[in-house]
Structure 1
């Protein structure tokens, strides 16, 4: 799957998924707005919690610069809701249990885990412009420090 990675200039694949509250959320709901879509392996795991809390804590500065944040994982909506409640998250967490959106964004595939090659979620972030075009496609990002790096790349000061 990794050979079909998205790149800047590509049209962001459309999707409609269920959020942590059971609402249907589509990328097209944000037409005319800038969106950060990030894929994470599993709710309530240490790295994913670090990353989600960094997005939570940076949401004011990101929103102030016109960005909406959407998190996507293979977790079901109930687990996403637990994650939201436990960490006081303040943005939509979308459930992609059948991995269709992961495949569309090439965020599911071979990766190394503790020295073993497995198929899994490739932690990735996409910055999508108002026209639905990918501005940045960042694969294999680190959970720690990722949001600060992203803000720097986007020219956004911390809140």
Structure 2
């Protein structure tokens, strides 16, 4: 594993412009820099989605920010109307390709797009941490809140995946 994952590591992101990226989405669309520069959105970044027909190695559960993709994704899904009510779109991102991600969208009935960043362009642009697991480079579970193209909140190394969406919503509701 590589890189630092402390909460302090997120401080440098606050006030930064969200990078001008073009990313593929599970909707079949390409999300362009223009869409990232207007309005408000939450982008939660997850390590990887497992599949029901594949058993994760036991070591996966020892990585603090690895477990919890399904609970986090489904909690954001269940709270998506609450986020929309305060003006936030939701995006989810990993380095997995959209074909792989579409299976999770279907299985979990997600109402928002999953974005694919196989080249880790967002991580490179912002200095977001990644880690190695069984020879694969993977994102550390993190969340960025972006308003009008500027990062206003950053959570790096999220370990409470299931409760994080609700905690973040409460934080954003107070700020409105």
TM-score category, normalised to shorter length: 0.7 to 0.9
TM-align CA RMSD: 2.5
Instruction: List alignment gaps of at least 5 residues for structure 1.
Output: none
- The TM-score, its normalising length taken from structure 1, stands at 0.83
* Partner residue of 1:120 out of 115, 132, 138: 138
- The TM-score, its normalising length taken from structure 2, stands at 0.76
**Which structure features the higher share of strand residues?**
1
* Partner residue of 1:51 out of 65, 72, 85: 72
Check whether the contact 1:2–1:109 (CA below 8 A) recurs between aligned residues. no
2:113 corresponding residue in structure 1: 92
Matched, 1:133 2:139: no
Displacement of 1:87 in angstroms is 0.2
* Partner residue of 1:76 out of 79, 97, 112: 97
* Partner residue of 2:46 out of 17, 21, 40: 40
4+ long deviations beyond 6 Å = none
Instruction: For 1:27 and 1:145, locate their aligned partners in 2 and report how far apart those are by CA, in whole Å.
Output: 30
Deviates more, 1:59-68 or 1:13-22: 13-22
Instruction: For 2:172 and 2:44, locate their aligned partners in 1 and report how far apart those are by CA, in whole Å.
Output: 15
Deviations 1:81-140 (A, max 9, x none): 1110000000010011111223223333348x8xxxx9631111111112x111101111
What secondary structure is seen at the aligned counterpart in 1 of 2:79?
helix
* Partner residue of 1:7 out of 2, 13, 17: 13
Size of the alignment, in residue pairs?
A: 151
1:109 corresponding residue in structure 2: 130
